[in-house]
Amino acid sequence: MSVARRTTTALLAGTIGVLSPLAIAVPGWAQTAADGYFATPPPVDPGKLIPDERKPDKSYKQSKGCVQRSLGENIVLKNRPWGQEYLQISKAQDIVKAATGGGAGKGVRVAVVDTGVTRHPWLPNLLPGGDYVAPTTKNQPPGLEDCDGHGTEVAGIIAGKPDNPEVGFVGVAPDATIVSYRQLSENYEPNTETAAPPPSSSTGGTPSSSTNPPSGSESSLPPSGGGGGSSEGDQTSPGQSNGGRQLEKAGTAGTLKTLAEIIRGIAERNEADIINMSVDNCRPATGSITEGEQQVQAAVHFAAEKGVVIIAAAGNATDTCPQNDQPDAKKPKTIVTPPWFADDVLSVGAIDETGGVAAFSVHGPWVGVAAPGTKIISLDPAEGSNGLANLTFESGDKASEIQGTSFAAPYVAGLAALVKAKFPNLDGRGIVNRIKETAQHPAAPGGRDNFVGFGVIDPVAALTATLPSEVGGMAPIPSQQMAQLPPANDRSSTPVIVALAGTGGGVVALLITLFVMHTIRRNRPAETGPARR
């Protein structure tokens, strides 16, 4: 088995976006409205759109060992993930293949802004996008190193393409191209020994000594045997309180500033059609907005106006990122960025295998749709692996299932790639609208709630439905239906007329006869009986 092993607190696969709560005060320059910004953020400030410098915003050094494989087991996962079956992914792929005459998602580029993506034989269409953490340590192109293991699993759900016919797992859009950007890592920390950031990742360059892992933190491992975890063993759910892929968490790499830079750069250079962000920032709602949030808001608006589809995980509730369960749904106590900017971002909540809302999925007025987010199977992110993983080790030897809104979002990103392939003339907002309108709407006013948004995605409907919004706001005109009636009787009607006339004559004759008989009986004199004696 090739279960991804996190040798430290490297990966809680599936929890995301926590800013150490209450520990960092909102800066004095943060903007505040009279009644505060809660359910709805303030208007976009174009002046906060910052350029993409294509490099980290500060110097980082590796502090923990990278993801490794679990040795001693070799179990090949052959079953299809429940989410893949629930969404009828195979049927959706067949629809696209039939319509395009090609693959499922071919020609569509999906940017994965995450912890990087490791090369994997079952992810053939992979391109480097950039590295905003540090130069890679093994001469890999920028963005193609995933020390945490999170981004590779996300990319696998979007475009994984196993070459083993016995393996049931497959990405939603296996022929799409992944463009990887390493934007954060919990295995790196700010390098306090030097104040200058490393050179731009676009230039390549020699890795600095600060990026080398600590002595003994990595092992030289042989290639894995094609497995990827077992459905057996310890099934304890991951401890969501660990925080997962967190932006601006103390002692880690990744800020809202570099996230904003990447989003703008992708749109400006036309490097992708879709952006998937399974990373975010969570903080207490104070009615204000920070500068980093404004920069991300301006960037996602810029990209959306350029026609890019922007998808983000809705966030996971943790001890440090409280669930929005307050009485007033319009005044959330937790703000999650980028999902907060729902005008330009399609945020994705998670459901579990029962079809219900996953307990960890953060609620909020920004939730757009929902997708499967538990019992995840995806590509094994360990370097040298050629199989799958469905378990992860967190800070020890206890295996836990991979789950989180991190892994619900790529299901939607993959669907967006299929929609883009089948409807190439749709812009980004049109693709998002099609996904929302065809979702399985909850029984709520307007067909939307704060738990699953407009509902669980329906890939088959998204690829086949005719939407009124796409035909000028009017319902489509139904095609003319020809009545299937028997052929007309063109034979002579004379026999029918004669028959009817004869019948009518007979009836008249009968009536006359009855009348005559009645008259005779009526006029006949009564007979005189014999006389009595």
Model confidence pLDDT, tens digit, residues 266-315 = 999 999 999 999 998 999 999 999 999 999 999 999 999 999 999 999 99
Q: Which amino acid is at 232?
A: E
273 labelled catalytic: no
Q: Say which residues have a Cβ less than 8 Å from residue 167's Cβ, sequence separation at least 6.
A: 76, 77, 78, 388
Does the pTM surpass 0.75? The reply is yes
Burial of 431 per CB tally in 10 Å (0-12, 13-18, 19+):
buried
Residue 422 dihedral angles phi and psi, to the nearest 5°: -80, -30
Q: What is the CA radius of gyration of the chain?
A: 34
397 labelled catalytic: no
* Predicted confidence (pLDDT) at residue 354 exceeds the cutoff of 50: yes
Please give the average per-residue pLDDT across 470-497, as a whole number. Answer: 61
74 token code pair: 């070799």
Question: Which residue among the candidates 114, 131, 380, 449 is catalytic per the annotation?
Answer: 114
Question: Which residue among the candidates 120, 150, 301, 363 is catalytic per the annotation?
Answer: 150
What pLDDT band is residue 14 in, cutting at 50, 70 and 90? Answer: very low
Q: What is the pLDDT of residue 28?
A: 38
**What is the overall mean pLDDT for the chain?**
82
301 labelled catalytic: no
Range with the poorest average pLDDT among 85-94, 220-229, 339-348, 447-456: 220-229
Whether 111 and 271 have beta carbons less than 8 Å apart is answered as yes
Please give the average per-residue pLDDT across 119-133, as a whole number. Answer: 97
What pLDDT band is residue 137 in, cutting at 50, 70 and 90? Answer: confident
450 compared with 398, residue with greater pLDDT? 450
Q: What is the pLDDT of residue 317?
A: 93
Neighbour count for residue 80 (Cβ, 10 Å): 16
Which range, 82-86, 209-213, 224-228, 485-489, has the best average confidence (pLDDT)? 82-86
* Predicted confidence (pLDDT) at residue 211 exceeds the cutoff of 90: no
The span from the first CA to the last CA of the chain, in angstroms, equals: 134
What pLDDT band is residue 484 in, cutting at 50, 70 and 90? Answer: low
Question: Which residue among the candidates 201, 406, 441, 449 is catalytic per the annotation?
Answer: 406
